[in-house]
Amino acid sequence: MKSARYEGQEREAILLDVFQRRIRLEGRLTTRTAIHIGAGGSGDFLATDAPVVKDAMGIPFIPGSSLKGVLRSGVESMFRGSGKESFWSCDFMLGKPCVDHRLDKKTREEVGEKSAGGEASREVARKIWRQSCPVCRLFGSSAMASRVRFPDLLLEGDAPMLEIRNGVGIERDKELAADGVLYDFEAVPPGTSFRLLVLLDNPTDEEIGLLLYLFDELDSGHLALGGKVSRGLGQVAIEWTKIEEIDLRKENPFASMLSRKDLLVEAAAELKKEEETAFDGFVPRTGDREKWRALVEAILEQPGLETQPKLDRTYLSKKSKEIGLTRKNLNEVLQLGLKGKQFKKPWPGALKKLVETGFLAMEGSDFVVVPVGGGAGGAVEGGAGGGSASTGQVTAERTPELQQLIDRYVGAMAKAWERARKEQD
């Protein structure tokens, strides 16, 4: 029940002592309805029976664990209902974890007899990773640390006036109100905003896409945050303002801190090249990347692209010859792997590669250029509301650059889901 994608990832992200890639998502969470995340009884007879969680200064905040729990619960139910072997989830609440403490202990004992030192720990991690479901691999388990972090969401602006609402206990067997069980509780009012930050360590594009999808479900109202959700509480809006990627395999992590990049004598030319190529993340990784980059640049130079994004095949044929790409050498230079009829007509195959990276899109039989912003590295900023729920305030429009990255990550997850569906059929 393990997909090839996850088996390949095992070599990259099996332990958190190996850091290769990090995604930083920044945004804003705004309450559409009131929300209640309880802090337990107040212990004060004059205070509310169920206060919301607050910091030492009495300011309400949203614990990161509350947000993580909602998203994890959402993906677990989604994977259990998918019927796909590549996307499955264990069920810890029913006593069916993918790796329980007994198996974890047994694995450590077996490996300890064969290995010594740090290699023993790594071998244990490999075994636990193989046995873990995709949900536990991302969100963590009792045997494995989480690779996604949710810091507490702190309030933006002034503290709001908290609502006090009344409730009554119910005897479910009698379907009547319980005698003498009247209580009240605090709630954070609608329109209250909190700073949202999510960090993913060593994720695949599919995992980033999955997380963005779960936040969209939260924004749409299909998932709710906190308690009292059956009486209408817990609806929130999500706005992404920045997506930043750090990839040590492609970038120098120290360069952004330098006021003079020429201090990196040997790397200065490469850094300058990366700065000038904002769309590098949309260049396929097969074949001659310089030729791919030249092809992307040529497409972006197409006249009238701002008003008519449809790709002009005549223009493309002319420009491609100027950069040394012809129908005869296209398959070999770009390593498209085409055969038969596709080999004789390679251009559709090449353009579909650019569709996979998110640079182009299909409209019927036509290829259209999607607005290009950030690439795979660096940061892309701009308001980005989900905005599909009808209650509460209207969120901001996503910038084309930010939407481009979201399409890339969610598109990767959508393709993985489609591959799993076809494999199941």
DSSP secondary structure, 290-346, as one string? HHHHHHHHHHHT-TTTTT--B--HHHHHHHHHHTT--TTTHHHHTT----THHHHS-
Per-residue pLDDT, 208? 93
Per-residue pLDDT, 180? 52
CB atoms within 10 A of CB 161: 8
Per-residue pLDDT, 371? 56
pLDDT band, very low/low/confident/very high, at 390 (cuts 50, 70, 90): very low
For 200, the 3-state DSSP assignment is strand
Per-residue pLDDT, 420? 83
111-152 pLDDT, tens per residue? 665 555 556 677 777 788 888 899 999 998 888 889 999 999
pLDDT tops 70 at residue 288:
yes
pLDDT band, very low/low/confident/very high, at 380 (cuts 50, 70, 90): low
pLDDT tops 70 at residue 58:
yes
Q: Which residues pair with 171 in a beta bridge?
A: 176
- Give the up-direction half-sphere exposure of residue 422: CA atoms within 13 A in the CB hemisphere: 6
Per-residue pLDDT, 191? 94
Per-residue pLDDT, 1? 43
pLDDT band, very low/low/confident/very high, at 217 (cuts 50, 70, 90): very high
Query: What size, in residues, is the chain?
Result: 425
Per-residue pLDDT, 193? 96
Per-residue pLDDT, 286? 79
Query: What's the distance, Cα to Cα, between the start and end of the chain in Å?
Result: 15
Strand residue runs (E) in 147-205: 148-149, 163-171, 176-187, 193-201
pLDDT band, very low/low/confident/very high, at 10 (cuts 50, 70, 90): very low
Strand residue runs (E) in 218-259: 236-247
For 271, the enclosing helix (H) or strand (E) is helix 268-276
Phi, psi of 21 (to 5 degrees): -150, 140
Contact 192, 200 (CB under 8 A): no
Sheet holding 21-31, edge to edge: 148-149, 193-201, 21-31, 236-247, 378-381
Contact 293, 277 (CB under 8 A): yes
Q: What percent of the chain has a predicted confidence (pLDDT) above 70?
A: 72
pLDDT tops 50 at residue 94:
yes
Residues whose CB is less than 8 angstroms from the CB of residue 398 and which lie 6 or more positions away in sequence, other chains included: 240, 382, 383, 384, 385, 406
Phi, psi of 54 (to 5 degrees): -135, 160
pLDDT band, very low/low/confident/very high, at 387 (cuts 50, 70, 90): very low
Contact 201, 22 (CB under 8 A): yes
d(CA 332, CA 83): 39
pLDDT band, very low/low/confident/very high, at 396 (cuts 50, 70, 90): low
CB atoms within 10 A of CB 423: 11
- In the numeric block, which tokens belong to residue 146? 């989480």
Per-residue pLDDT, 372? 46
293-325 pLDDT, tens per residue? 888 888 888 887 666 778 888 888 888 888 888
Per-residue pLDDT, 95? 74
pLDDT tops 50 at residue 163:
yes
Per-residue pLDDT, 239? 94
Strand residue runs (E) in 359-415: 360-363, 366-369, 378-381
| Out of 126-130, 340-344, 373-377, 398-402, least confident range | 373-377
pLDDT tops 90 at residue 402:
no
* CA quadruple 257, 263, 269, 271: dihedral, nearest 10: -10
* pLDDT averaged over every residue in the chain: 78
pLDDT band, very low/low/confident/very high, at 59 (cuts 50, 70, 90): very high
Per-residue pLDDT, 233? 92
Q: Which residues of 199-234 are buried (b: 16+ CB within 10 A; e: fewer)?
A: bbbbbbbbbbbbbbbbbbbbbbbebbbbbbbeeebb
Nearest to 70 by CA among 238, 241, 234: 234
In one-letter notation, the amino acid at residue 119 is E
Q: Which residues of 325-360 are buried (b: 16+ CB within 10 A; e: fewer)?
A: beeeebbebbebebeeeeeeebbebbbebbeebbbb
pLDDT band, very low/low/confident/very high, at 209 (cuts 50, 70, 90): very high
pLDDT band, very low/low/confident/very high, at 169 (cuts 50, 70, 90): low
Contact 139, 78 (CB under 8 A): no
Radius of gyration for the chain, computed over Cα atoms and rounded to the nearest angstrom: 26
Per-residue pLDDT, 391? 39
Per-residue pLDDT, 220? 93
Per-residue pLDDT, 292? 84
